[in-house]
Amino acid sequence: MMELIATAESVEQGKSLLDAGVDTVYVGEDEFGLRLPASLSLDDIRTLTDYAHDNGKQVHVAVNALMHNDRIEKILPYLEGLESIGVDAMTVGDPGVIHLLKKNNISVPYIYDAQVMVTSANQVNFWAKRGAVGAVLARELTYEELKMIQEQAIVPVEVLVYGATCIHQSKRPLVRNYFGYIQEKTPSMEERQLFLAEPKKEDTHYSIYEDINGTHIFATDDVNLMPQLGKLADAGLTRWKLDGVFARGERIIEIARLFVEAKQAFENGIWSDDLSIRLNERLHSLHPHERALSEGFFLKDPTEIQ
């Protein structure tokens, strides 16, 4: 069974994504979730969850932040709030949060999400045996590595098929520190338009922004696995994630429709190279023009990655 998951930046966008055919919307509050398009309150999450359930869909909530003591002390009421809402699952990477879930008998299922550290079936299965109902795989894995994990994992695993890849996070406010050092006003982070470029490679575009969780730097290319969906499907990798942190508003909804069309083609047995090419061309036309697209690590030889 294929599942299409997409981030949502608002209740209305979440409803539109579900109406477009997405199976699960992914939201959260930025105090407890990482790199979200926007921070949604518990009231927002309740409204969206009610709508999703009325339409036979799901809501997953990000609880995958790097938890220091101050966050751990605040998180139990949030977990209890998610339980009362009836969200379908939460993503968690901190063992301290998993301990609280078990200690307090919080009934919301959790999906293990420790970002770049989820790189083997052994790690996936370790957490599956401790209650995880799924895992979010690292975005730096090759097809051969993904296929091997899928063959050995005892719970479903999620693969990013579209969106940005974070390559560095610091809990420190590095952007603010930098502008303070050069004695200039720190620009607004709301539009997330700052980027770093290599002096000898002017076309590089390492997006950077700062929020309550620190500083985040993203790869110069966003991931696009539309041309490789056949390989994913053949390998049984059918839980697909769309990350709209840099594809805002109507743009991510239109991109989601392309992946919904692809999913339906697989389910109806009519997926073809021609359809893949047409959908990929439309995706490129919708993707933000200032951001490059590539297949990331997917086609690389694991032995040659440096």
Query: Do 246 and 121 sit in the same domain of this protein?
Result: yes
What is the Cα–Cα distance from 6 to 20, expressed in whole angstroms? 11
CB–CB of 297/305 below 8 Å?
Answer: yes
Q: Which residues pair with 89 in a beta bridge?
A: 60
Query: In terms of residue numbers, what domain contains 75?
Result: 3-164+223-304
Query: Exposure of 2 by Cβ count < 10 A (0-12 exposed, 13-18 middle, 19+ buried)?
Result: middle
Of the candidates 304, 299, 249, 259, the one whose C-alpha atom is nearest the C-alpha of residue 282 is 259
Query: Do 180 and 45 sit in the same domain of this protein?
Result: no
Query: What is the pLDDT at residue 296?
Result: 92
DSSP 224: E
Of the candidates 72, 71, 52, the one whose C-alpha atom is nearest the C-alpha of residue 60 is 52
Mean pLDDT is lowest, of 21-25, 42-46, 146-150, 213-217, for 213-217
Among residues of the chain, what percentage have pLDDT more than 70? Answer: 99
Confirm whether 217 is domain-assigned.
no
pLDDT in tens, 228-241: 999 999 999 999 99
What is the Cα–Cα distance from 242 to 7, expressed in whole angstroms? 7
pLDDT in tens, 173-189: 888 898 888 888 888 77
Mean pLDDT score of the chain: 94
Query: Do 157 and 174 sit in the same domain of this protein?
Result: no
| Most distant pair of Cα atoms in the chain: their distance | 60
Query: What is the pLDDT at residue 188?
Result: 77
pLDDT band at 203 (very low <50, low <70, confident <90, very high): confident
Question: Looking up tokens 């477009």, which residue turns up?
Answer: 20
Global model pTM greater than 0.85? yes
Query: What is the pLDDT at residue 204?
Result: 84
**What mean pLDDT is predicted for residues 185-205?**
81
Of the candidates 139, 92, 95, the one whose C-alpha atom is nearest the C-alpha of residue 113 is 92
pLDDT band at 285 (very low <50, low <70, confident <90, very high): very high
Query: Do 175 and 298 sit in the same domain of this protein?
Result: no
Query: Do 249 and 134 sit in the same domain of this protein?
Result: yes
What is the Cα–Cα distance from 163 to 136, expressed in whole angstroms? 14
Q: How many structural domains does the chain have?
A: 2
Query: What is the pLDDT at residue 306?
Result: 62
Confirm whether 216 is domain-assigned.
no
